[in-house]
Copies of this chain bind each other. A is one copy, B any other.
Amino acid sequence: MSQAIFFHAGCPVCVAAEQQFIGALDPARYEVEVVHLGQDTARVAEAERLGVQSVPALVVDGQAFHINYGAPLSALK
Chain A residues with a Cβ under 8 A of chain B: 4, 16-17, 20-21, 24-30, 58, 60-61, 63, 65-69
Q: Are B17 and A65 within 8 A (Cβ)?
A: yes
Residues of B within 8 A of A17 (CB): 65
Q: Is the CB of B21 within 8 A of A24?
A: no
B61 engages A20 (CB within 8 Å): yes
Known contacts: A63-B16, A65-B68. The answer to whether A27 contacts B24 by CB under 8 A is no
Known: A26-B26, A27-B26. A21 touches B60 (CB 8 A): yes
A4 CB, min distance to chain B CBs, angstroms: 7
Kindly provide the distance from the CB of A53 to the nearest chain B CB, expressed in whole angstroms.
10
